[in-house]
Protein backbone atom coordinates (compact mmCIF):
# COMPACT_ATOMS: atom_id res chain seq x y z
CA UNK A 1 0.00 0.00 0.00
CA UNK A 2 1.32 3.41 -0.87
CA UNK A 3 2.53 5.65 1.89
CA UNK A 4 0.69 8.61 0.35
CA UNK A 5 -2.66 7.13 1.45
CA UNK A 6 -3.21 9.82 4.06
CA UNK A 7 -1.96 12.44 1.60
CA UNK A 8 -4.87 11.77 -0.78
CA UNK A 9 -7.43 11.67 2.03
CA UNK A 10 -6.15 14.95 3.43
CA UNK A 11 -6.05 16.52 0.00
CA UNK A 12 -9.69 15.54 -0.59
CA UNK A 13 -10.69 17.16 2.71
CA UNK A 14 -8.65 20.26 2.01
CA UNK A 15 -10.42 20.60 -1.37
CA UNK A 16 -13.79 20.60 0.38
CA UNK A 17 -14.89 16.98 0.77
CA UNK A 18 -17.01 16.47 3.91
CA UNK A 19 -16.14 12.78 3.94
CA UNK A 20 -13.74 10.41 2.18
CA UNK A 21 -13.55 6.64 2.11
CA UNK A 22 -11.53 4.09 0.19
CA UNK A 23 -13.27 0.98 -1.18
CA UNK A 24 -11.52 -2.19 -2.26
CA UNK A 25 -12.75 -3.02 -5.80
CA UNK A 26 -12.70 -6.72 -4.86
CA UNK A 27 -15.92 -6.00 -2.96
CA UNK A 28 -17.73 -5.72 -6.31
CA UNK A 29 -17.09 -9.45 -6.82
CA UNK A 30 -19.48 -10.28 -3.96
CA UNK A 31 -22.04 -12.68 -5.57
CA UNK A 32 -24.87 -10.89 -3.72
CA UNK A 33 -24.04 -7.60 -5.47
CA UNK A 34 -26.38 -7.09 -8.47
CA UNK A 35 -24.99 -3.97 -10.14
CA UNK A 36 -22.26 -3.31 -12.70
CA UNK A 37 -18.61 -3.90 -11.83
CA UNK A 38 -16.08 -1.10 -12.40
CA UNK A 39 -13.46 -3.72 -13.28
CA UNK A 40 -15.45 -4.43 -16.45
CA UNK A 41 -14.51 -1.07 -17.95
CA UNK A 42 -11.36 -0.30 -15.91
CA UNK A 43 -9.66 -3.67 -15.23
CA UNK A 44 -6.56 -1.92 -13.87
CA UNK A 45 -8.18 -0.32 -10.82
CA UNK A 46 -6.82 -1.12 -7.37
CA UNK A 47 -8.65 1.49 -5.30
CA UNK A 48 -11.91 3.44 -5.35
CA UNK A 49 -11.84 6.77 -3.54
CA UNK A 50 -15.37 7.89 -2.60
CA UNK A 51 -15.85 11.62 -1.90
CA UNK A 52 -18.94 13.29 -0.56
CA UNK A 53 -20.43 16.62 0.36
CA UNK A 54 -23.30 17.36 2.74
CA UNK A 55 -26.40 18.88 1.18
CA UNK A 56 -27.49 21.88 3.28
CA UNK A 57 -30.55 21.26 5.42
CA UNK A 58 -31.93 24.65 4.42
CA UNK A 59 -32.77 23.51 0.90
CA UNK A 60 -34.36 20.23 2.03
CA UNK A 61 -36.70 21.39 4.79
CA UNK A 62 -39.12 23.44 2.60
CA UNK A 63 -39.80 20.58 0.14
CA UNK A 64 -42.02 20.11 -1.82
CA UNK A 65 -41.89 23.91 -1.99
CA UNK A 66 -38.62 25.40 -3.20
CA UNK A 67 -37.87 22.60 -5.63
CA UNK A 68 -35.92 24.89 -7.95
CA UNK A 69 -33.73 25.99 -5.04
CA UNK A 70 -33.32 22.40 -3.87
CA UNK A 71 -32.34 21.27 -7.37
CA UNK A 72 -29.92 24.13 -7.84
CA UNK A 73 -28.27 23.42 -4.49
CA UNK A 74 -27.88 19.75 -5.45
CA UNK A 75 -26.31 20.76 -8.75
CA UNK A 76 -23.90 23.07 -6.91
CA UNK A 77 -22.87 20.05 -4.84
CA UNK A 78 -22.34 18.10 -8.04
CA UNK A 79 -20.14 20.82 -9.52
CA UNK A 80 -18.13 20.99 -6.29
CA UNK A 81 -17.57 17.24 -6.42
CA UNK A 82 -16.42 17.42 -10.02
CA UNK A 83 -13.94 20.19 -9.31
CA UNK A 84 -12.39 18.47 -6.29
CA UNK A 85 -12.46 15.09 -8.01
CA UNK A 86 -10.68 16.43 -11.08
CA UNK A 87 -7.97 17.99 -8.92
CA UNK A 88 -7.39 14.63 -7.22
CA UNK A 89 -7.30 12.77 -10.53
CA UNK A 90 -4.65 15.20 -11.78
CA UNK A 91 -2.63 14.79 -8.60
CA UNK A 92 -2.73 10.99 -8.86
CA UNK A 93 -1.58 11.10 -12.47
CA UNK A 94 1.20 13.56 -11.61
CA UNK A 95 2.45 10.93 -9.20
CA UNK A 96 2.52 8.29 -11.93
CA UNK A 97 -0.81 6.52 -11.37
CA UNK A 98 -3.83 6.20 -13.63
CA UNK A 99 -7.09 7.72 -12.45
CA UNK A 100 -10.58 8.66 -13.65
CA UNK A 101 -13.60 10.42 -12.20
CA UNK A 102 -16.97 8.66 -12.35
CA UNK A 103 -20.26 10.59 -12.79
CA UNK A 104 -21.44 12.29 -9.63
CA UNK A 105 -24.38 10.73 -7.84
CA UNK A 106 -27.73 11.82 -9.19
CA UNK A 107 -26.18 14.39 -11.51
CA UNK A 108 -27.97 13.44 -14.71
CA UNK A 109 -29.63 10.27 -13.45
CA UNK A 110 -31.64 8.50 -16.11
CA UNK A 111 -31.05 10.97 -18.88
CA UNK A 112 -27.37 10.87 -19.66
CA UNK A 113 -24.95 8.58 -17.83
CA UNK A 114 -27.02 5.61 -16.72
CA UNK A 115 -27.98 2.67 -18.90
CA UNK A 116 -31.26 3.76 -20.52
CA UNK A 117 -33.05 0.48 -19.78
CA UNK A 118 -31.72 -0.60 -16.40
CA UNK A 119 -30.97 2.94 -15.15
CA UNK A 120 -27.84 1.50 -13.56
CA UNK A 121 -24.54 3.37 -13.66
CA UNK A 122 -21.23 1.69 -14.54
CA UNK A 123 -20.40 1.87 -10.86
CA UNK A 124 -22.78 2.00 -7.91
CA UNK A 125 -21.53 4.87 -5.79
CA UNK A 126 -23.75 3.80 -2.92
CA UNK A 127 -22.31 0.29 -2.89
CA UNK A 128 -18.77 1.68 -3.11
CA UNK A 129 -19.56 3.97 -0.18
CA UNK A 130 -20.95 1.03 1.80
CA UNK A 131 -17.75 -0.93 1.07
CA UNK A 132 -15.76 2.08 2.32
CA UNK A 133 -17.67 2.11 5.61
CA UNK A 134 -19.35 5.45 4.99
CA UNK A 135 -22.85 4.26 5.89
CA UNK A 136 -25.62 1.77 5.26
CA UNK A 137 -28.63 1.70 2.93
CA UNK A 138 -32.11 3.03 3.70
CA UNK A 139 -35.47 1.95 2.32
CA UNK A 140 -35.24 5.12 0.22
CA UNK A 141 -32.39 3.32 -1.63
CA UNK A 142 -29.93 6.00 -0.56
CA UNK A 143 -26.77 5.80 1.49
CA UNK A 144 -27.52 6.74 5.09
CA UNK A 145 -24.51 8.34 6.71
CA UNK A 146 -24.06 8.57 10.45
CA UNK A 147 -23.70 12.36 10.38
CA UNK A 148 -26.39 13.65 8.01
CA UNK A 149 -28.43 10.59 6.99
CA UNK A 150 -29.23 10.64 3.25
CA UNK A 151 -28.51 14.40 2.87
CA UNK A 152 -25.35 13.93 0.82
CA UNK A 153 -23.97 13.84 -2.72
CA UNK A 154 -21.06 11.65 -3.78
CA UNK A 155 -18.60 10.94 -6.56
CA UNK A 156 -15.67 8.52 -6.85
CA UNK A 157 -12.22 8.22 -8.35
CA UNK A 158 -10.99 4.95 -9.81
CA UNK A 159 -7.24 4.55 -9.67
CA UNK A 160 -4.48 1.98 -9.93
CA UNK A 161 -2.86 3.52 -6.84
CA UNK A 162 -2.94 0.85 -4.10
CA UNK A 163 -4.43 2.98 -1.31
CA UNK A 164 -5.14 1.36 2.05
CA UNK A 165 -8.88 0.52 1.96
CA UNK A 166 -11.54 1.15 4.58
CA UNK A 167 -14.06 -1.54 5.44
CA UNK A 168 -17.86 -1.85 5.77
CA UNK A 169 -19.11 -0.80 9.17
CA UNK A 170 -20.01 -4.39 10.06
CA UNK A 171 -23.54 -3.33 10.89
CA UNK A 172 -26.53 -4.44 8.83
CA UNK A 173 -26.71 -3.63 5.12
CA UNK A 174 -30.03 -1.78 5.60
CA UNK A 175 -30.50 0.52 8.59
CA UNK A 176 -32.57 -1.31 11.24
CA UNK A 177 -34.60 1.87 11.98
CA UNK A 178 -36.24 1.54 8.54
CA UNK A 179 -38.40 -1.43 9.54
CA UNK A 180 -40.51 0.63 11.93
CA UNK A 181 -40.32 3.92 9.98
CA UNK A 182 -41.17 3.54 6.29
CA UNK A 183 -41.82 7.29 5.98
CA UNK A 184 -40.07 7.44 2.61
CA UNK A 185 -42.17 4.57 1.26
CA UNK A 186 -45.38 6.33 2.33
CA UNK A 187 -44.43 9.81 1.06
CA UNK A 188 -43.19 8.82 -2.41
CA UNK A 189 -45.71 10.46 -4.79
CA UNK A 190 -45.35 7.74 -7.45
CA UNK A 191 -45.00 4.69 -5.17
CA UNK A 192 -41.52 3.95 -6.48
CA UNK A 193 -40.31 2.66 -3.09
CA UNK A 194 -41.49 -0.51 -1.36
CA UNK A 195 -41.34 -1.72 2.21
CA UNK A 196 -39.50 -4.84 1.01
CA UNK A 197 -36.50 -2.67 0.11
CA UNK A 198 -36.98 -2.59 -3.67
CA UNK A 199 -37.36 0.41 -5.95
CA UNK A 200 -38.95 0.92 -9.33
CA UNK A 201 -36.42 3.47 -10.64
CA UNK A 202 -38.35 4.22 -13.84
CA UNK A 203 -41.25 5.61 -11.79
CA UNK A 204 -38.88 7.98 -9.98
CA UNK A 205 -37.08 8.94 -13.20
CA UNK A 206 -40.34 9.64 -15.06
CA UNK A 207 -41.63 11.76 -12.19
CA UNK A 208 -38.46 13.87 -12.06
CA UNK A 209 -37.86 14.29 -15.76
CA UNK A 210 -41.42 14.33 -17.13
CA UNK A 211 -43.78 15.51 -14.38
CA UNK A 212 -41.32 17.89 -12.69
CA UNK A 213 -39.52 18.85 -15.91
CA UNK A 214 -36.07 18.01 -14.53
CA UNK A 215 -36.43 19.41 -11.04
CA UNK A 216 -35.58 16.96 -8.27
CA UNK A 217 -38.20 15.58 -5.90
CA UNK A 218 -36.30 14.91 -2.69
CA UNK A 219 -39.26 13.88 -0.57
CA UNK A 220 -37.65 10.57 0.45
CA UNK A 221 -34.74 12.62 1.83
CA UNK A 222 -36.96 15.31 3.37
CA UNK A 223 -38.91 12.87 5.56
CA UNK A 224 -35.99 10.70 6.67
CA UNK A 225 -35.44 11.10 10.42
CA UNK A 226 -31.87 9.76 10.28
S1 LIG B 1 -37.14 11.19 -5.26
FE2 LIG B 1 -39.39 11.37 -5.00
S3 LIG B 1 -40.24 10.08 -6.64
FE4 LIG B 1 -38.08 9.47 -6.38
S5 LIG B 1 -38.14 7.75 -4.92
FE6 LIG B 1 -37.79 9.66 -3.72
S7 LIG B 1 -39.85 10.30 -3.09
FE8 LIG B 1 -40.10 8.83 -4.78
S1 LIG C 1 -37.38 7.56 5.88
FE2 LIG C 1 -37.41 5.93 7.43
S3 LIG C 1 -37.59 4.03 6.22
FE4 LIG C 1 -36.93 5.64 4.82
S5 LIG C 1 -34.68 5.52 4.79
FE6 LIG C 1 -35.22 7.03 6.36
S7 LIG C 1 -35.33 5.83 8.28
FE8 LIG C 1 -35.39 4.36 6.57
Q: Which of 219, 221, 223 to mutate to test the pocket of ligand 1 (most atoms within 8 A of CB)?
A: 219
Mean of all residue pLDDT scores within the chain:
90
**pLDDT single digits (tens) 34-72:** 888 999 999 999 999 999 999 999 999 999 999 999 999
Does pLDDT of 77 surpass 70? yes
Q: Show the CA angle centred on residue 177, arms to residues 171 and 181, nearest 5°.
A: 155
Q: Which of 176, 181, 186, 196 to mutate to test the pocket of ligand 2 (most atoms within 8 A of CB)?
A: 181
d(CA 130, CA 178): 17
What is the 182 CA–ligand 2 centroid distance (Å)? 5
pLDDT band of 6, cuts 50, 70, 90: confident
209 ligand 1 Cβ < 6 A: no
**pLDDT single digits (tens) 167-220:** 998 778 899 999 999 999 999 999 999 999 888 988 998 999 889 988 999 999
223 ligand 1 Cβ < 6 A: no
Q: Answer whether 160's CB lies under 8 Å from 46's CB.
A: yes
Nearest ligand to the CA atom of 192: 1
193 CA closest ligand 2 atom index: 4
d(CA 221, CA 73): 14
For the chain, list the domains and their CATH numbers.
5-175 (3.40.109)
Residue 139 to residues 11, 13, 21, 59, 60: CA-CA distances in angstroms? 33, 29, 22, 22, 18
d(CA 48, CA 20): 10
182 ligand 2 Cβ < 6 A: yes
**pLDDT single digits (tens) 81-118:** 999 999 999 999 999 999 999 988 765 555 566 677 77
175 ligand 2 Cβ < 6 A: yes
138 ligand 2 Cβ < 6 A: yes
- 132: CB partners within 8 A, 6+ apart: 21, 22, 23, 48, 50, 165, 166, 167
- 108: CB partners within 8 A, 6+ apart: none
pTM reported for the whole predicted model: 0.91
Amino acid sequence: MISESSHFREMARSLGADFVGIADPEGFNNPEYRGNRPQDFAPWIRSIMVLGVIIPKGCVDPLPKGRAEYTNTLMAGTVTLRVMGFALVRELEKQGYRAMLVPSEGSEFGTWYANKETLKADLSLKYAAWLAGLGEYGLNQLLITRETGPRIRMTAILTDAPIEPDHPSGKSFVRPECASCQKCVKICPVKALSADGTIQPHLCRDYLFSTLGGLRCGMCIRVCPL
